[in-house]
Structure 1
Amino acid sequence: MRLFRRQAISVALAFSTALGLTPVFAVMLELQPDNPANAPSAAPYASIAVNNELQDVVTLLKQGERKEAKLQLARFLARHPQDPRATEVAGLIFMEEKNWKMAIVSFRRVLSVNPAQTSARSKLGVSLLMDGQRQEGAAELQRVVSINKADGMARRYLGWLAETQGDTKAALGHYTEAIGDPRFGAGMMSEFHVLTAKLFNQTQQYDKTIKLLAPLIGKADSSRTGRGGELVLASAYLEQGDKAAAARLIRSLEKTLPSVNPDLRLAQAALFKLEKDYPKARERLQAIIKENPAYSRLASLQLSEVYVLEGNRKQAIGVLESLVSKAEKKDLSPLLARLTALQFDRGSPADAIKTLKEHSVQNPSVKYLLAEAQARNHQYAVALRTVNELLAESPQFAGAHYLAAMLYIHENKPSEAEAGFLQAVKLIPAFVDAWVELGDLYISANALPKAESTLQKALEANPDNPTLLFKLASILDQSGKTAQANSAYRRIVEKMPNHAPALQKLALNLSTDSSTLSEAQKLAERAYALAQNEPSIQDTYGWVLVQSGDLKKGTPLLEAAVKAAQHHREHLSSHDESDDHSHESNNLAEGNAYYHLGVAYMKGGKYAEGAAYLNRALHSGVDSGTRTQIASLLK
C-alpha cells in the first residue's frame, strides 16, 4: 500500500518534528517556558529611559559588569530613593540574577507610578513568565504590543512562547513585527531576522530565508548575529542543494569560529554529505558526538543518514537503536519512525512492528507508527483497527485521520477517505500530504473541478508551497488549462530554480508551440542536468531535441526513456497496484514515451519501427489530441 508520497519518512515523524524537517542545524535547547534556563536573555532588549548617571549602570549591565553596576545603582538610590527609573534598573538587575519575584516587585512599583511605561511592563511580563506565571506574563506582554507593535522584548518572548507551544505561525508574526523596531536599524541584520529565517527553514520556506538574509550578510548588528545569520542561510542553501553558495558561507564561518565549534562542524558535515564525501561527513559528526554531548542526538541522526547514503543500513540501524534506548518519551516518535523505516527497507517488517509494540503504550505518535507499519506489512484490517483505536483516544491527531483515510482508500470507501483527509487538513492546514491526497481522491473520481478548488484552498493556507503548486499545475494540465498550468510551473521555478519536475513539465508544454521551442529546450536542458536518470526528464529532453531537429542527440534519450517505462510496467505487474491511483497516469506517461520515440524514428526514416511504437502508444494510453496526431502519421 502506498503510504508515502515524497521522501518524508512518515506522517508521525512530520508532526513530531514540525512538518517533517530534519534540518541541518537545530536549536539545541528544548524550548520550555517552565525552565528559565532555556529562555533568551533579556539584556539585548533592556532599554530604559534614564539620565546619564543611570545610563552608566545600564551600560555596565550590558557589558556583564553586574557587581559594579549594582554599586553605582546603590549610590544613586541613596540620593534618589523614589526614582522609578532607578527602580526599573534594579528590576533589570534582579532579572539578570534570575530573582524573578524581586524583579516582579520592582516593575510593579514602577507601573504603580506610571502605568503607561511599556518598557517596565514588558520586563514585568518576562519576569512573570520566568516565575511560572505563564498566563499573567503573556497577558502583560500582549498589552505591551497592543501599544507598541515593535517592542523588541515583548515580541522576543511572545515569539519564544509561541515556539514552545508549536505555533510557528504566531512566532513568525511576532518576529517579523519586531524587525520593524527602529532600535535595530534599517538595513541591518538583527536577531529577529535570524529567528525568522530559522522558522522559514523549519517550514521548508528556504527561498524566504535566502531573500531575507542574503542581502544582509556583512551588515549584522553584532558578530554573534552575523554568525547566526550565516549558519541559518547556509542551512537554506544546503537544503536547496546549492553547494557553492553554502560553501562560501561555511568558508567565512571557518575564519571566525573555532574549528571545534559544533555548529560549524554540523555545517561542514552537511556540505560534505551534499558533495558525497561521506568519510569526511562521518569524521565531523563522530567528533561532535564524542566532544559535544548537547549536540550528540542531532549529530547521531545526521550520522545515520550518512550511513544510509553509503548503503550501510545495518550501521545506521545500530546508531538509531542506541538513540532509542536513551531517548525520552517526547523524542521517541521521530527516532522510531527512522528506525522502523530502515528496518522495512532491510526487509524486516516483523522487527519494525515488534519495536513499535514495545513503545506504543500511552504514546499516540508511536501507536500511529505501529498502524503505519502494519499497513506497510499488508495487515490492512489490523492497521485500520489500530488507527481507529488511536482516534478514539486522540481525536485531534491529524496524522491518524490521514492514515485512516489512506486505509479507507484501500478498502474502496471514498466517502470515509474524504472525511479523513478533510479532518486532517482542518486540524492542521499545513498538512501538505493530506491536501495532495484529497486532490488525488477527487482526480480518481474524475472530479477535476473539485480537485482544482481543493488545491486552491490548500495554497490559501500554504502560499507558494511548491508541492501544492505542482499538484495544482498537474490538475490544470489534465483539465486542458495549459496557460494556467504553465503559470504555476513558472512560480515554482522562480522560487526553486532547481525544481526538476516543474522544469520538465513546463518544457514539455512549451514544446508544443514553435515560438516557445527555444525556451523549452533551455528548460529541458536544465532539468536533464539536475536528473539525468529520470525517465520523464529523458523523454522530455529527447522530445524537445527531436522537435528542434536534433535527432542524433534526442533519439537515444527517447530510447532510454522507453526502456525505463517498460521496466516500470513490468515492476508494477509484480506488485499490488489496485489501491494506487497513479496507475492511470503511469500508463499515460508510457504511452507518450512510445509516441515520442515513434515520431523520432519516422523522422529518421525508420518508418516500420516508428509505426510499431505509435501503435503501442495507442494501446498504452494517450490523450485524444495525441491520438489524432498518431492517426494522421499512420495514414
Structure 2
Amino acid sequence: MELVVLTSKAKNNKLYAPIILIGALVLAACDSPEEAAENHLQKGKELFEKGEYDKAILELKTSSQSEDKRSDTYYYMALLDEKSNNFKSMRENLIKTIELDPNNTEARQKLGKVNLLFGDLDKALEQADVVLQSNPASEEAKLLKASVYIRQQKKEQASEIIDSVLAVNAGSIDALSLKAAMYFENNQFDQSLEMVNTALTKDTKNLPLRLFKIKINAKQNNIEAVIDDYKQLIEIYPDAENFKLSLASIYAMTDKLQLAETLLREMVAKKPDNVEPKIVLLEFLNAKNKEGVSPEFKTMMAGAKNTPALALELSKWMLVSGYADDAASGLKQVADVDKNDKTGLTARTILAEIDLNKKELDKAEKEISAILATNSDFVDASLLKARLFLMQNKIDDAIDLLNKTVWTKNDSDQAFMLLGQAYSLKKDQKQAEKNFKQALELNPANIQAFIPVYSGYLQANQKETARQYLNKALNAKPNQILLLTNKADLDISEKRWDDAQETVQRIALFSKNKAVPMYLQANILQGKGQYADAVKLYEQLLNEFPGHVNSMVNLVRSYEALKERDKAIAFLESQQKKHPEDLAIVGVLSDLYMANKDYVKAKQLLSSQIKQSPDKSVPLYLALAKVEAVLTKSAEGAKEVYIKGLQDNPDNPQLSLALAGLYEQLGNKNEARKIYESVIEKSPDTTLAINNLAALLIDSSVSDDVARGLSMAERFKEVDNVYLQDTYAWGLVKNGKTSEGLALLESLIVKEPKMPEIRYHLGVAHLNNGNKATAIVELKQALSLSEKQKRGFTGKEDAEKRLKELEHK
C-alpha cells in the first residue's frame, strides 16, 4: 500500500480534516483480522487489570467477533463474568476457552468449580481429573475433587485428599476451610472452630471464613463469641453497614438495647445527610422505645431545616408508622419552605392524603384541586384524585384518570398499583395482576402491589417465583417487617434454616412485638428437630403472651414429637388455671383432650367454661357439639347442644347455621330451610345462609322453588368463589339453561378438579346436553372422589342411580 504524504498546501486546504480521517481509516484497515483480534484482546487484558471492567468487556467482545478465535479472549470474558456473578455465561465462556486451548488448566479448574456450583458433580470431577493427570501436585484440583466427594457423601475419600494437601501445605486456606466444613457437618464444632482460627491466622480479612466462624458460634449458642466476631468484622470492614445492623440485631435479641441504640446512633452520626441510618434508628425506637420516637423525630427535623427532601422522607416514615400528628407537623414544615416546588407539592399532597384517610373528602378534594391548579401535571395529586374516585366508587373514572397518567408518565409504580386495585374492584383479575406486576417492575417494594402478587404465587405453590419477588422487595426495603416476616415464613417452610435464622435476627431489631421473633425462632428450632429447645421457647412465649394459638399448637406438636403429650396437657392445664377467661387456651386444651380420647374431660372443660363465660359461649357450644356427637355416637347429641346454645344466644347466626347444616346432614331439609330463611330475614347479606338455602331450593322437586333458588344464586354470578359459583351454575342447569350452566361448570372444574359436587353437576349437564359418554365419565369421577375423600355430597344417590341407568342402556 502506498502511503500518501500531505503537503503544506494540502494541510491548509478545507479537506485536510477529512483526509486525515480517511488516512486513519486506511491505516486501520491495514490490520489483518489476526492483528485486530490480538489488539482488542491486549486492550481488554490491560483494562481488566486496571479494574475498568465495562471497557474491558467491550474490547473482549470485539475480539471474540473476529474470525480469528483466541482462547484468552473467552477466558478473560469468563473472568469478567465471575466478577459480576454471571456464572451461567462464565461456564459457557470457559467451555469455549478449553475448546480452543485444552491445556488451559486454570480454565479447567474454574470450570470445575462452576460445575460444582451448578451441582454437575460428574463434570466437576472430570475437570479435576484432567488437571491432575497433567499436574498431579495441583492443590486446587485436589481440593475441587475433595469438594465433589463431600457433596457425594464420600467423606473418607474427601478427608484423605484434604489431609494430603495439608501435609504439604499446612497453611492452605481452602483445605482448612473444607476441613472445618466437614467437622461442622459432623457436629464437631470445637474442631471446626480450631480449623477456622488456624486459617484466619493466615488470612485475617477472609470474609467467608469470618462469617463461617459466626455460624459455628451461633450453632453453639455462644452469643458473646458471635458479638465479638461481629465487632472484629466491623473493625476490618468499617464501611459495611450490614455488619453493624447484624450486631445491633443480636444486641436487640439479647436485650442489650442500649448497646444496639448506641451502635445505630453511631451510624447516623457517620452519615448525617443520609436518610437511611436515621430511618433505621427510628424503626428501632419504634420497636423498642416507642416514647422516644417523637422526640427523636423532632431533633432530626430541626437538623433538616435546610434539607427539605430529607425532612420529607422522615415525615413520610412517621406517617406510615402511625405518628400522624408528628408527620403532619413535619409535612407542614416542608410545605412552608416553598409550597409550589416539587418537594412542597409532595408534602401538600400527602397532607391531602391524610385528610382523605380521615374521610374528610371535601377538604381533601379542595386541596387536590388547588395542587393541580398550580401544576396540572403533578402526578402524585392525580393519583390521589384517582384514590378519591375509588373511595367514591367511581371505578371507571379512576381507571380513565390512571390510564391518562401512565400514558404521560409510565414510571409511577403507585399509578399501576392503583390500576391493579381498580381492576380488582371490577373483578378483572387478569388486568389487576398485570398492573400489580408492572408496579413491582418499577418498585419491587410497593407493598400494596406486592401482597396480591406474592400471595397468588404462594397459593399456586410457585414458591421459587414468590421468592424472586420477595428478594427484589427486600433489596429495595431490607428492614420492612412485613417483608422480613414473609421471608422468615418462606425460609422455614422450605427448611432454609440459616437464611431463616438471619432473617429472624433482623426482625428482632425492628419488630414492635417481641412475640414475633420469639415465635419464629421457636419455629426454626422445631423445624430442625430441636424439639426440647423449641418447647422451652414456646413455653417462655406463652408465659409472656398467654393465649397465642399458634404457639400452643406448635408446643403440642413439639411435645408429641418427644412423645410427651402428658407434659403438653399439664402445661396447658396450668395455663388455663392462670388465665381462666382465655378461650383460646380452652379451645386448644379441649382439642388435645379429644386427641387423647379423653372425651369426658373435654366435655367437663367446655361445660364449665360455658358457665364461667356465658357471654362468650358461642365457640364453646360449637366445640361441645363435636364432643357430644362423639360421646353419644350420634348427631342427635350435637343437635341438643346447638339448641341449648341458641337458647342462651338467641338467633346467633353461627349456631343457627351449624344447626341448619346438621339438619341437612340428618335429612331434615324442611327444618334446615326454616332456619336459613330466619337467618336471612334477620341478616339479609349472610352469604352462607343465602347459598345453602339457594342450594336446597335448587335441589327441590318443586319448579317454583328451583326458579327461586336460581334467582337467589344470581348474586354469585361474578363472585370469585368456586363453591358459590357452583350453586349458580347448578341453578342454571336445573332451570333448563344447560349450555350456560355447562360453560360455567367447565371453567370451575379447572379451578377445583377434586370437588365431587362439581363433577356430579357437570355430569348431569352433559347428560342434559346429550353427551352420555362424557356424563358417565364425570359421574364416575364424582363418586370416585367422594370415596377417596371419605365424604358424601348432596346428589350422591342421584349420581349412583343415573350412572347405573346409563351403564345398563
TM-score by length of 2: 0.40
Q: Which protein is richer in helix relative to its size?
A: 2
Structure having greater relative contact order (Cα 8 Å, sep ≥ 6): 1
